[in-house]
Amino acid sequence: MRIKVVLHYLGLLIAILGFFMLLPLAFSLFHREPDSLAFVISIGISVVSGLLLWRLTPVGEGRLSRREAIMLVAGGWILAAAFGALPYALAGTFQSYLNAYFEAMSGFTTTGATVLASIESQPHGILLWRSLTQWLGGMGIITLFVALFPILGIGAAHLVEAEMPGPQAERLTARFRDTAKALWLLYLGFSVLEFISLWVARMPLFDALAVTFSTMPTGGFTPTTLSISAYNSPFIEGIIIFFMMVAGVNFGLYYFLLWKRQPGRLFSNSEFRLYIALLVGACLFIVLNLTLTKEVGLSIGEAFRYGSFQAVSIMTTTGFVTANFNAWPAFAKSALLILMVIGASAGSTGGALKVTRLLVLFK
């Protein structure tokens, strides 16, 4: 295995990550917050370190082997979190670098766990960076890397296969680089649509951007401690439900629907139909259980509003919250637990077991 090749491309990846920090830096400068210096230093460290590593490890031509691709993917996620933790550490968000690394890794892997005690007290740049790390990790950092740089076409297939879990990555186009580009364009397009929709629904612009960056990757970070319940808006919740469901579908099906104009590929897909059936069925049972349980004290409308949101949020592994479902009856909580284990579709940004494996188990 050629270590220099791996280090060469890891350096480029680190530099790209540094350039993405410019977006939260812009918000910090606009709001004149002290974390702007932390972002300036983090950008300098990331870009300079990455470019130095890239330049000091020249490589010749040659196809990336499968072992090199796996090493590059593993190293990419580890280093992304290491450099992504710099703004937290330098801004004093956490007492230790370990907590900063945890927050960054949770973001890039779209896990959604956090060690922040108070979210609203954080500056805008830090809050946006939390959500942006999820957005970058949702479709995959390495997949973005493949889409941006044609030089990686020589080993793109191995990289995409090494990063995507579960079933083998579907080749939508003749080249994996074009496949990665198509997936990221779809991902970007849905993100823009959600941002505009939330803004039209009168969510503050910054919040709309941060929530969008966490919805499409099904990550769950929000700029508020109370999650989506802080906005108390059925309209906003409805928009988020729709885009969480969108994020839980195999993005390859959207390619055939929007690019190839083949809607039959979507509606005839057995995994998609089971995914929708499980969501609709779970929502109905949870709503019915909440309505019939007088101790909960919810009307039919409230049960539908809160029950459907939590069912979609849990099954897509997003983790947004609009109600204290710990106070719900055992049946509703058990249904949510089952949905959490099943998860979203293969090829989506959601996690967990995946509906396709459940389908295979049934067959």
Identify the DSSP state of 257. I
Task: For residue 160, name the pLDDT band (cuts at 50, 70, 90).
Answer: low
pLDDT tens, residue by residue, 224-240: 999 999 999 999 999 99
Distance, CA of 126 to CA of 132 (rounded, Å): 10
pLDDT score, position 65: 81
pLDDT score, position 141: 75
Distance, CA of 21 to CA of 118 (rounded, Å): 22
Is the pLDDT score of 152 beyond 70? Answer: no
Q: How many CA atoms lie within 13 A of 35 on its CB side?
A: 27
Q: What are phi and psi for residue 72, nearest 5 degrees?
A: -65, -40
Distance, CA of 79 to CA of 200 (rounded, Å): 37
Listed residue (179, 140, 193) closest to 162, CA to CA: 140
pLDDT score, position 150: 58
Query: Crossing angle of helices 141-148/124-138, nearest 10°?
Result: 80
Residue holding tokens 């979507």?
266
Is the pLDDT score of 115 beyond 50? Answer: yes
Distance, CA of 121 to CA of 129 (rounded, Å): 15
pLDDT tens, residue by residue, 13-33: 999 999 999 999 999 999 999
Tell me, rounded to whole angstroms, the distance of Cα 285 from its chain centroid: 28
Report the predicted TM-score, pTM, of the whole model to 2 decimal places.
0.92
47-56, 162-171, 208-217, 300-309: segment of lowest average pLDDT: 162-171
Vertex 164 angle, CA 222 and 264, to 5°: 90
**Domain-wise residue ranges, the chain:** 3-214, 234-362
Mean pLDDT of the chain: 90
Q: Residues 194-206: what's their mean pLDDT?
A: 97
Distance, CA of 167 to CA of 195 (rounded, Å): 31
pLDDT score, position 311: 97
Is the pLDDT score of 153 beyond 50? Answer: no
